[in-house]
Amino acid sequence: DALKVSRTNCEGCHTTGGIAPFSMETYDVVKNRAPQIANAVKEKRMPPWMPNEACGMSYRDERKLTQAEIDVFTAWAAGGAVAGDPNDAPPAVNQAALEWVDTSLVPPVAYTPSATITDDYHCFLLDPKLTSGTSVIGYEVVPGMRSVVHHVLLYAVDAVEAKAADDAEAGEGWTCFGASGISNADLIGGWVPGSGAVRYPAGTGISIAAGKVLAMQIHYNTSVAARMPDATPIKLQYARTGVTPAVLLPLLDSSFSIPPNAMGYTPSGHPKAFPNNTIVDLKLWGVLPHM
C-alpha cells in the first residue's frame, strides 16, 4: 500500500536523476529513509501542496494525500518498513502522453547553466515555422536534465525581437529572469517537476499567429546538483477543428510589501489583468498560484 501511494504521489519528482534529493523507486533507498519520509508526510510537507483548505476550494489533480494514505506511510515506517511481497508491487506509473504530436522542438545546442549563480533563468528560441495561425490544445515538456530543471515556461513571441535577444548574448539563448524579456509575449504553458503532458479543456486552445516563434524559459537550479549540459525538448499538439480561444493571464499585485517579522499580514490591494480596470466576462478554467 505504501508503494502504491509512492508511485502515484511521489515518484514524479523522487525519481532517478530527478530534482528531488533522492529517488523513491527502490526499496533499499526508501527503507533507509522511512522515518524521514513518514515525518514529512505526517506534517504534510510532502507532497508540496499549499492551497488552504479553509478557502473551501477543491482542484482537479490535487497533489496531496488523504489521511488514510498518510496513515499507511506512518504505520509502515513504525512497523519497521518491511518490504512486503514483491509479487504484490504495483506497476510504475506512466504519465499519459499526448494522443498525437504535430511539432517537436529542441534547442539546437545544449546549454550548461551558469557557474557563478545557482538560479539561472535562460531563454531559448524555438521556431515552429508556422505559415498560418493555429491553436495549441496540448503540449509536453520533456526536461533534459531533471536534476537541475526547476521549471519551464513557453511563450509565443515576435520572431524579430526574439532573434535580436538571442543574437545580443553569446552562446545559445539569452538571460531572461521572470519572463521572456520579449514585449507582448503570450504565455502558452509551463512545466514543473512531476508534471506530464498537458491537454487544455476540450474545445479550447491558445492561439499562435503565423510567423510567431516560441521563447522557452528554463529556470535551472544547481544548488544540489552538478551543472550539466541541457537540451530540453517540447512537443506541441495543434487543434484539428475550431476551438474557443483561451488565454493565460498573469494576475499580479506588486503594490504591497510585507513588514519584517509580520504575522498574519493581509494585503488589501487587488491584482490587475486589464488596463484601466476594464471589466471583462471570463470563464475560469484553472489557476496557477505563485508567490
- Distance CA(237)–CA(191), nearest Å, equals 15
pLDDT at 291: 67
> Among all chains, which residue has been given the C-alpha cell 477543491?
58
Mean pLDDT, range 91-96, rounded to an integer: 64
Q: What are the cell numbers at 191?
A: 512545466
Asked if the model's pLDDT at residue 252 lies above 80, the reply is no
pLDDT at 124: 97
- Distance CA(245)–CA(236), nearest Å, equals 16
Confidence of residue 273 (pLDDT cuts 50, 70, 90): low
What DSSP string runs through 133-195?
-EEEEEEEE--SSTTTEEEEEEEEE-HHHHHHHHHTSSSSSEE-SSS-S-TT-EEEEEE-TT-
Other beta carbons within 10 angstroms of residue 265's beta carbon come to 10
pLDDT at 138: 96
Highest mean pLDDT among 8-22, 240-254, 271-285: 240-254
Higher pLDDT, 93 or 98: 98
What is the per-residue pLDDT across 194-217, written as a single tens digit (0 to 9) for each? 788 999 999 999 999 999 999 999
Mean pLDDT, range 25-49, rounded to an integer: 84
pTM of the model: 0.77
Instruction: List for the chain the helix, strand, coil content (%; round to 5).
Output: 20, 20, 60
- DSSP SS3 for 30: helix
Q: How many residues does the chain have?
A: 291
